[in-house]
Amino acid sequence: MAIARALIIDDEEDIRELLAITLNRMDISTEVAADIRSAKKLLTLYHFDVCLTDMRLPDGDGLVLLKKLQDTQPELPVIVITAHGNTSLAVKAMKQGAFDFLSKPIDLKGLRQIVTHSLKVNQPPSSKPSELKLLGDSAVMQGIRTKIKKIACSQVPVYIKGESGVGKELVARSIHDQSSREGDFIAVNCGAIPAELMESEFFGHKKGSFTGANDDKVGLFQAAEGGTLFLDELADLPLLLQVKLLRALQEKKIRPIGYAQEINIDIRLLSATHKDLNQLVQQGEFRQDLYYRVNVIELEVPPLRERREDISPLCDYFLTEIAANNQIEPVPLSDEALNVLMHYPFLGNVRELVNILERAVALYEGEHITPEDLNLPTEIDSRLDVKTYQSATRSLEDYLNAIEKKVISQALNDNQGNEVTTAEQLGLSNRSLAYRLKKLGL
């Protein structure tokens, strides 16, 4: 007995037949239509679990049908079919709510993978709890959690925007955990991979394909098969690898170094950076076509200083975690210490809050953590507002450089001058930290 029913809409008879036969072999019943008029009639007669539709139909645009389905049956996953190379249309469809896309000629393995994922959308989610929680009582964090729940039900690429330390990887992991994808969540910091090793790291290689390739290597795309690949600091990718990444996303295939044949991939891509990708596109440092491909949905995570009502619950959570990791009783914050944190600028965002609390737990001696135990930099005005800037007798650039210099100096001091650990703490690549050290004369 069929477990699901699919609606197939395409004006080419051989395509309709190919799709129907493939889905029938997956124990999915099918109804077919050659145009929008016939499809609308079928939609009134049957309940469908998935819809596959061409974008160019005799009596209208597939995008119009997609919009109607989004308005009337938003829970129905719609897979759009586009002509080969028409990525811009596929991206437009996904921005309007399509679950995923297929390009002609249709790859049957890719078809089966996408349909399988789509049928899991309306099933109860599997239990994949994160080790960390996306906490926060602020309206903006509640909104982000709502968006994540909706985004998780599709396959579309998501670009997560925000300053270093706001929790972009945690947002990405939350999207994966609430999705139907059963593979692993693979996170990689693009800025931490040497440029000459990037192609091998991403796509893998065959033993003997180049000097030093002593064994076969599985790349990140293959490691994330059936799951989610999260590329942090995407802006650090060199232009040559951007080209290869774009092709992999468009064709859903990769070719490891030394291989003669391409390999099909089934991954969902999430990406993030603290830089302004749009500005990098204008400067010619990031490919515009790749930008549009990865930025189908943009999700911005605001800095901690713009959602101060989240500070108290975050403190409670992290102090409990720190105590558990150190096998001690949780250490409470005094009201005075919490008040200081509520007015602190947190240039390093949630990551900086964690570091402050870890240091305070290690240094406190009384019954609770005091403002003195927080050991905050006294040189930085904790208000960091317009009045603070207006009181400075220097330009905005000089003022911001001074703040950056103090933060980096403090981090270097905390890490005994270890630049690798400092870069990781500040959410920077090693190259980015080296650039800042040189610019600031540190």
| Domains along the chain with CATH numbers | 4-119 (3.40.50.2300), 139-300 (3.40.50.300), 305-440 (1.10.8.60)
Q: How far is CA 231 from the centre of its chain?
A: 7
Confidence of residue 83 (pLDDT cuts 50, 70, 90): confident
Q: Cβ atoms within 10 A of the Cβ of 113, count?
A: 19
How confident is the model at residue 122, as a pLDDT? 65
Q: Which amino acid is at 57?
A: L
Helix (H, G, I), strand (E, B) or coil at 160: strand
Read off the pTM: 0.71
* Two structure tokens written together for 26: 């997956």
* Contact status, residue 83 vs residue 11, Cβ threshold 8 Å: no
Condensed to tens digits (0 to 9), the pLDDT of residues 307-327 reads 999 999 999 999 999 999 888
How confident is the model at residue 384, as a pLDDT? 47
**pLDDT of 129 strictly over 70:** no
The average confidence (pLDDT) of the chain is: 86
Selected residue with higher pLDDT from 60 and 131:
60
Cα 408 from Cα 49, distance rounded (Å)? 53
Question: Of the given ranges (68-77, 154-163, 351-360), which has the lowest mean pLDDT?
Answer: 68-77
Q: Which residue has the tokens 């080209």?
A: 243
Cα 441 from Cα 148, distance rounded (Å)? 41
Q: Which of 4-8, 91-95, 412-416 has the highest mean pLDDT?
A: 4-8
How confident is the model at residue 382, as a pLDDT? 43
Confidence of residue 232 (pLDDT cuts 50, 70, 90): very high
Condensed to tens digits (0 to 9), the pLDDT of residues 361-414 reads 988 888 899 999 998 875 544 444 444 444 444 455 666 777 788 888 888 888
* Two structure tokens written together for 61: 């645009």
**Virtual torsion, Cα 192, 194, 200, 203, nearest 10 deg:** 40
| Of residues 198, 160, 192, the one with CA closest to residue 176 | 160
How confident is the model at residue 20, as a pLDDT? 94
Helix (H, G, I), strand (E, B) or coil at 108: helix
How confident is the model at residue 186, as a pLDDT? 94
Condensed to tens digits (0 to 9), the pLDDT of residues 250-278 reads 888 999 999 988 999 999 999 999 888 98
Nearest 5°: phi and psi at 310? -85, -15
Condensed to tens digits (0 to 9), the pLDDT of residues 141-183 reads 999 999 998 888 888 899 999 988 899 999 999 999 988 888 9
